[in-house]
Chain A
Amino acid sequence: MAGVKLYVGIWLALVVATIIEVVASSLPGSSSLIVTIIMLVASAKAIVIALYYQHLRYEGIRVAVMPLAAIVALGILAVTAIVSLGM
């Protein structure tokens, strides 16, 4: 079982990641690259919260399989909807 130090350390990392996102949003350069970086950081933050604060790291795949399947289904929905625009 994780301890207080780990939880506080994760919180610090999440705050730092938030600051990185904000800084990245104000950088000049390719907007698609910046968007990619920001969304990757956002996804990493979500994964860290799920793994440590929601204890998915300790629950294993038997619990993670449900939210993962939901994310895959959503991916299919979002990609299909956007690709169907034919843009």
Chain B
Amino acid sequence: MYRGFSIKQWLTTTNHKRVGILYIVTSICFFIIGGAIAGLIRVQLTTPSGSLLDPFNYGQAVTLHGLVMILWFLSPLAVGLANYFVPLQIGAKDLAFPRLNAASYWLYLFSGLLLVGSVFLPGGGPDTGWTLYAPLNTIQFTPQPGATLAALALAMLAASVTGSSVNFITTIVRNRAKGMTWSRLPVFTWSMLMTNALMLFAFPPLAAGLVMLTTDRVLGTVFFSSIQGGSILWDQLFWFFGHPEVYIVALPAIGIIAEVIVTFTKRPLFAKKVFVAEMAAVTFLSVGVWVHHMFMTGISFDVREVFSFTTMAISVPFEGLVINLVLTLRKSSIRLTTPMLYALGAIFFVILGGITGIFQAFVVLDYAFRGSYWVVGHFHYVMVGTTIFALIAALYYWWPKITKKTYNEKFGKLTFYLSFIGFNLLYFPYFFLLDMPRRISAYPANPEWVPMNLAATIGAIIFGPAILLTFINLVRSYRKGKTSQPNPWGSEETEWTGNYSASAPSPSMPMVTVDPSNKQQTNETSEKEDMNGEKGKSTFMPAVIAAGTALLLLGIAAYPPVLIAGLIVIALAFLKVFKDGTEEKFAEFKETLHEKWPAESLSKEKLGMWIFLTSEILLFGSLIAAYLYVRVSSPTWPIATQTHDVTIGTANTIILLTSSLAMILAFYSIKTGNSTGLKIGLGCTFALGLAFLNLKLGFEWPDLLRKGFTIDSGLPGSSYFVLTGAHAVHVAVGLAAVGYLMVRAFKGGFTSEKHSAVENIGLYWHFVDIIWMFLFPLFYLI
């Protein structure tokens, strides 16, 4: 597995397999950190008056454990596996945007370092719980800079996830090999398509909440400290992300379980089309159930009733998935290999986790269970039992493919039995702690909770080492294991066979015995090809941009001078990226469009831009929704025309509209071969964008500040400056992109045949224009 690769090669790689390995290794490191913190929590709770952690440190431990495990371990490990295997499953040479893929990884790594590092800042890190509830998350109750840094780390992770979603969706939609039709698409790839679609929709509202939280903490806005915004506004935005996150974690697990079961039963997946439809139904419904996390708030009872129904509704397709898996096992000859044992364990846990979760759908029962260890038990059965067991199944299942080595089967089975026993001993007692509240660090008045806590700690003593033994087994096999056959399981799945043609048995369909010694006839690149392919594709810039972003965010949270350093690093890195772009250093690798629907005549760049714009719509839309919420809930609101200068607003609207006209004419010019028209159009767009920013930042904002309409003067000021400020940042980014186009245009880099960058940056520019079409009336006219 890439023995002989230098550190430089790992730092500069853009190859999907190597980025996948980086994700897998890094996520396991975060898992060990999160697990060690869990150990501290367990030790603390073993006795009623544990003295290992004081309440503040206990709060930090609980917060960090939740965030690290959910967001820096579970999802990224699945993304790492998907990085490696989705291109192999669909027959693509790489992900659609390799450099973006590398950037996603480095943003993920550095965001995790920021989060973990937040506890080492003066005053410590966040101690609010992973939900960062308002107003606890405001500077009044959580004044430490580490809490700001943690919020920014989450925002950085959201950027990473968005890049990743754009990449995976584009790749799966557009870069499938010939014969890899939608009906033949492997189940794991389907699950990652759904997962990435969910990530695309769930993370921008969280990012919007984090933008407002950061401005609350750093600039003095009052979104979450005001009565009109406050806790409910945060709840709405956080849980609009938070509940889909459960399925973001669970869907890849379901896909993995299906792959493993199909291989080790030698049976087709029971009703594969129904299975995929059920995953799609879960995906759609999961954005409509978030309010069940808010049943105990004072929101309208009617809304609670509706979401009680939707929460029950989503269990139907999800349990359908489990039934499909179980029916696949029926009357099959099961090979109880290590991955199969873990997959069966995951099915057991998803059933138990699902049953214990359905109670939360009922408002009255939720009153009883919410905030208790029952809920802790329920979500650990789903998140740990189902997902971690499925992910470990995947590691064992695909380990021979990744490392070309065989692991120790007996040792593997031993780790499963220990994990299974330890897990149940750790989490099942929680169901008997119905009246024990979450997030308490001591319970001296309730000694009756000791036996169950003691049992849980004994379970942890078994479960933690069992998981570590799993990693030891895998690492040991990599170092000393026997060389594996190319297809040791005799699987018919495409990542093993490399056979994508329509004449081949469909993945997850009836199969014949495969000779495991068969040489693969695959689109997969060899290790040598990967190494050679790195030449000309490798770049430090994704890592440098992520490092610069980390410095920038550290500066915002705690050390302002570092902010300048971060900005300089980012600026220099982007100058290099633009220089590489104008010199066309990274010549695009062309993936032939084999499976046309629905991507015919749609370049991967354009498809990727539209997916990115979808996330941008959700980001701005969430900010606008928050604005509408605080405005409707406020008893009074200043009259727009008396606060803002309608003339300046109107002038800026016409300036932006004209810039859009200039941009589209620039595109039209180069499309018809008129490079002079392109230059004039781009020049006008750039000048008009600058004029817009100058009028806003040079005249309008100073005038408002002089009148006392400031960012911290109340919700009207906070919402105006944050929304128009976010828009101004987008205009500035657009200007940088248009500047890049101008340089490239003056170097003769565009022709009537080659101008996709003009079109795609144009799409972004028009999007920024569209957002202003709503901000203008909302702030200036009504």
B205 to chain A: closest residue by CB: A77
Once A25-B781, A81-B625 are accepted as A-B contacts, the answer to whether A50 and B650 lie under 8 Å apart by CB is no
Q: Sort chain A's interface into a size bin.
A: 35 or more
Tell me whether B303 and A83 are in contact (CB under 8 A).
yes
Q: Chain A 55-82, CB within 8 Å of chain B: the 1/0 string?
A: 0000100110011011101101110111
What is the bound-complex CA distance between A25 and B776, given in angstroms? 12
What is the bound-complex CA distance between A73 and B661, given in angstroms? 30
Is B115's CB within 8 Å of the partner chain A? no
List chain B residues, Cβ under 8 A from A84.
232, 236, 291, 294, 299-300, 303
What is the bound-complex CA distance between A78 and B626, given in angstroms? 8
Once A8-B661, A81-B625 are accepted as A-B contacts, the answer to whether A71 and B617 lie under 8 Å apart by CB is yes
Q: Sort chain B's interface into a size bin.
A: 35 or more
Shortest C-beta distance, A70 to chain B (Å), equals: 4
Once A8-B661, A11-B661, A59-B602 are accepted as A-B contacts, the answer to whether A83 and B774 lie under 8 Å apart by CB is no
Once A22-B781, A83-B303 are accepted as A-B contacts, the answer to whether A49 and B766 lie under 8 Å apart by CB is yes
What is the bound-complex CA distance between A25 and B448, given in angstroms? 66
Shortest C-beta distance, B681 to chain A (Å), equals: 11
Tell me whether A73 and B287 are in contact (CB under 8 A).
yes
Tell me whether A22 and B646 are in contact (CB under 8 A).
yes
Q: Chain A 28-46, CB within 8 Å of chain B: the 1/0 string?
A: 0001001100110110011
> Which residue of the partner chain, among B300, B646, B770, contacts A25 with CB atoms under 8 Å?
B646
B interface: dominant SS: helix
What is the bound-complex CA distance between A15 and B658, given in angstroms? 9
Once A18-B654, A53-B766, A81-B629 are accepted as A-B contacts, the answer to whether A63 and B602 lie under 8 Å apart by CB is yes
What is the bound-complex CA distance between A67 and B610, given in angstroms? 8
Tell me whether B664 and A53 are in contact (CB under 8 A).
yes
B641 to chain A: closest residue by CB: A25
Is B373's CB within 8 Å of the partner chain A? no
> Which residue of the partner chain, among B287, B291, B782, contacts A38 with CB atoms under 8 Å?
B782
Is B657's CB within 8 Å of the partner chain A? yes
Is B621's CB within 8 Å of the partner chain A? yes
Residue among A2, A18, A24, A52 with max Cβ neighbours from chain B (10 Å): A18
Once A15-B654, A50-B770, A53-B766 are accepted as A-B contacts, the answer to whether A71 and B621 lie under 8 Å apart by CB is yes
What is the bound-complex CA distance between A77 and B204, given in angstroms? 12
B173 to chain A: closest residue by CB: A62
Once A54-B766, A54-B767, A63-B602 are accepted as A-B contacts, the answer to whether A42 and B288 lie under 8 Å apart by CB is no
What is the bound-complex CA distance between A75 and B87, given in angstroms? 35
List chain A residues, Cβ under 8 A from B614.
66-67, 69-70
17 extra interface residue pairs, beta carbon distance < 8 Å, beyond A73-B287, A74-B617, A84-B294: A4-B665, A7-B664, A18-B650, A21-B776, A21-B781, A22-B781, A42-B773, A53-B664, A53-B762, A66-B611, A66-B614, A67-B610, A71-B617, A74-B618, A83-B303, A85-B232, A86-B303
Taking Cβ atoms with an 8 Å cutoff, the residues of B that contact A are 201, 205, 232-233, 236, 240, 287-288, 291, 294, 299-303, 598-599, 602, 607, 610-611, 613-615, 617-618, 621-622, 624-625, 628-629, 632-633, 640-641, 646, 650, 653-654, 657-658, 660-661, 663-665, 668, 671, 762-763, 766-767, 769-770, 773-774, 776-777, 780-782
Taking Cβ atoms with an 8 Å cutoff, the residues of A that contact B are 1-4, 7-8, 10-11, 14-15, 18-19, 21-22, 24-26, 31, 34-35, 38-39, 41-42, 45-46, 49-50, 52-54, 59, 62-63, 66-67, 69-71, 73-74, 76-78, 80-87
6 closest A-B pairs by beta carbon, nearest first, are A86-B300, A74-B621, A25-B781, A84-B299, A78-B625, A62-B598
